[in-house]
Amino acid sequence: MEHWDPLLINNYDLFQKKKRIVMRKLGMCKGKEGLPIQWTNMTVSYNEDNKETVIGLKVKVLKEVSNNFSMTFNFWKCDASGNPDSCECILKDYNNKQICKYMVMKNQAWTEFIDHFDKPLRCPIKPGEYNLVNCPIKSDFLRYLPVSDALWKVIMWGYDLDEPISCVDMEMQVAAFLGGKRRG
């Protein structure tokens, strides 16, 4: 029997209502700026040509990351205000030791993200700067995840041979799409 993995899309119903996403934060965990993989300069903009919100950022890899790259995920669901007292831990310390295998998978929640780097992000990951360029924030990727309307806080730790190499802090607002035109 195959091991159930909450990261893979085939575990979820792919027919969800249209959602709106607002990326609030994507960067290094506070106080972890000295780790060998650094996430900086997140930008959020609106692409007038295709009417999409896009993000960009820089990932600086200071030392090679081996094929033993693993990650630990923590997810909190908060009410729309983001009040810390409203947050409920949904997934705690989920560890995946096959991140290199997952990074090259297609049709997954992270595929669009991985595919928008200016050079391939594959294991072993070589030192250098990797730029995420015009990565669209589409609600389509939510069809891969069991995400309801809320403010979602995610902390992702990266490890190489069980040594911490990265810590990413992400917040995104998810809400039902009510239609209408974008203002502003």
Kindly report, residue by residue over 141-181, the tens digit of the pLDDT: 555 455 567 888 999 999 999 999 999 998 888 776 555 55
The answer as to whether 118 is a domain residue is yes
Residue 12 within any structural domain of the chain = no
Does residue 5 lie in a domain region? Answer: no
Question: What distance in Å separates the CA atoms of residue 94 and residue 70, rounded to the nearest whole number?
Answer: 11
CATH number, position 142: 2.70.220.10
- What pLDDT shows up at residue 69? 96
Closest CA to 177 of 26, 53, 42, 44: 53
pLDDT of 18 reads: 60
Q: Which residues of the chain have pLDDT under 50?
A: 1-16, 144, 182-184
State whether residue 153 is helix, strand or coil.
Answer: strand
Q: What is the pLDDT of residue 107?
A: 82
Contact criterion met (CB below 8 Å) for 61 and 127: yes
Establish if 79 belongs to a structural domain. Answer: yes
pTM given for the model: 0.78
Question: 65 lies in which domain range?
Answer: 26-176
User: Hey, what are 148's tokens?
Assistant: 């309801």
Q: What are phi and psi of 100, to 5 degrees?
A: -60, -40
Q: How many residues does the chain have?
A: 184
Q: State how many domains the chain has.
A: 1
